[in-house]
């Protein structure tokens, strides 16, 4: 089994990242390795704090997003409240969009929920449509698709009528938010929103891992319902 890797950069959040990584490694029976920024390593998961030595006192460290986007494996950015970092809420939230990242996000969320003995919540955020007649073309199909992918795994499904960053910031009862890398190679807007605003650690499922993922069926993205006029 590949190790869990923690990046120690000497920042105040290094200790929090080390504690989170050590606890997770123990749960999954993996070795824990510590590396410096820029080191070459191979691991099943890389963990770092949301602030590094060169980050400002506000927001995320300036090298965190580039590091997460370039990582060759899943990455966890440790941030948020003490209760969330210690896993006291007992809930993992998978953020789904209806896109191709969802299968990998859900698969990883299930693994973490099982290993941490946590409940699974599947969350889809979609703002209220400008034209209220469009409410019949809601985003319920995204959660239905997620239920199909989960193949009977117990979970709760929630549709939130807010912008993704607003929904993310309100996940105060989660110990982990799982999100895909987004549509770009430099991490999408929703991924960045999670890294900047989440009240808990964030797991980014890396694209290369998703492309190699086995055991999850490839389901094409459903089309939105077509309205007809009689």
List the domain boundaries for the chain: 1-79, 80-199
Q: What percent of the chain has pLDDT above 70? A: 80
- The residues, ordered by sequence, that sit 6+ positions from 120 with a Cβ below 8 Å of its Cβ are 91, 92, 94, 109, 110, 113, 153, 154, 155, 156
Give DSSP secondary structure letters for 144-209: HHHHHHHTT---EEEEE-S-HHHHHHT-TT-SEEEE---SSTT--HHHHHHHHH-SS-EEE--HHH
pLDDT of residue 71: 87
pLDDT tens per residue, range 193-214: 999 999 999 999 986 555 554 4
User: With 50 as the cut, is the pLDDT of residue 192 above it?
Assistant: yes
Q: Do domains 1-79 and 80-199 have the same CATH topology?
A: yes
Residue 182 reports pLDDT greater than 70: yes
Rounded Cα–Cα distance for residues 152 and 155 (Å) = 9
Which of 156, 153, 88, 91 lies closest to 118 in space, CA to CA? 91
**Rama region for 61: left / alpha / beta (φ>0; ψ in -120 to 50; rest):** beta
Q: Which architecture characterizes domain 1-79 according to CATH?
A: 3-Layer(aba) Sandwich (3.40)
80-199 fold: Rossmann fold (3.40.50)
Q: What is the pTM of this model?
A: 0.86
Contact of 126 with 190, CB cutoff 8 Å: no
Q: What is the separation of C-alpha 61 from the centre of its chain, rounded to a whole number of angstroms?
A: 18
Q: How many Å separate Cα 101 from the centre of its chain? A: 11
Q: For residue 150, what pLDDT band results from cuts at 50, 70 and 90? A: very high
Dump pLDDT digits (tens) for 41-70: 989 999 999 986 555 545 678 788 888 888
Give the chain's mean pLDDT.
83
Q: What is the mean pLDDT of residues 220-227?
A: 34
Residue 120 reports pLDDT greater than 90: yes
């Amino acid at each position: 089994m590949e190790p869990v890797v923690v990046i120690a950069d000497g920042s105040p959040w290094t200790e929090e990242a080390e504690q989170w990584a050590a606890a997770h490694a123990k749960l999954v029976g993996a070795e824990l390795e510590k590396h410096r920024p820029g080191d070459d390593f191979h691991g099943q998961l890389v963990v770092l704090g949301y602030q590094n030595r060169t980050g400002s006192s506000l927001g995320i460290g300036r090298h965190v997003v580039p590091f997460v986007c370039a990582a060759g494996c899943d990455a966890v950015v440790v941030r948020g409240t003490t209760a969330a970092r210690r896993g006291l809420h007992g809930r993992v939230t998978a953020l789904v969009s209806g896109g191709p990242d969802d299968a990998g996000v859900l698969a990883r969320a299930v693994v973490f929920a099982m290993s941490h003995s946590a409940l699974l919540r599947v969350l889809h955020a979609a703002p209220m449509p400008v034209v209220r007649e469009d409410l019949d073309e809601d985003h319920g199909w995204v959660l239905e698709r997620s239920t199909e992918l989960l193949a009977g795994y117990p979970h709760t499904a929630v549709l939130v009528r807010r912008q993704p960053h607003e929904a993310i910031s309100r996940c105060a009862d989660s110990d982990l938010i799982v999100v895909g890398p987004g549509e770009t190679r430099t991490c999408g807007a929703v991924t960045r929103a999670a890294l900047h605003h989440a009240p808990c650690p964030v797991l980014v499922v890396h694209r290369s891992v998703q492309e190699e993922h086995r055991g999850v069926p490839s389901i094409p993205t459903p089309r939105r319902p077509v309205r007809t006029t009689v």
